[in-house]
Amino acid sequence: MFTSKQRANLKSMASTMKPVGQVGKEGISENLIESLSGALEARELIKVTLLPAAGEDGENLAENLADLLHAELVAVIGRKAILYRRSHKEKIEHIVY
């Protein structure tokens, strides 16, 4: 869990990011999980678009996605979810929030 200050800092970092993936009418697939997991491992902080065609409420969909990715849900803004997971890679610069 993040404090409100940490959450605000991560949200500001993500504000200029482009989404790395989207959840559409197919829902959350295994390929999507693998792709987003790789992105989290490389970047630690990602933004995902939650299309209305997914049929589920954006907040619930984002929470399910975070659980499947073993990531922290930073925020859901409209139909965009911001996710954070600390990378296991040692030779990258980790996000300091």
24: left (phi over 0), alpha (psi -120 to 50) or beta: beta
Average pLDDT over residues 74-95: 88
Q: Is 14 a residue whose pLDDT tops 90?
A: yes
Average pLDDT over residues 27-32: 93
Q: Is 93 a residue whose pLDDT tops 80?
A: no
| Domains of the chain, earliest start first | 4-84 (3.30.110.60)
User: Among 9-13, 20-24, 45-49, 89-93, where is mean pLDDT lowest?
Assistant: 89-93
Q: How confident is the model at residue 23 (pLDDT cuts 50, 70, 90)?
A: very high
Note the pLDDT of residue 55.
78
Going by the DSSP 8-state scheme, the letter that residue 54 receives in this structure is G
**Bridge partners, residue 22, by sequence:** 49
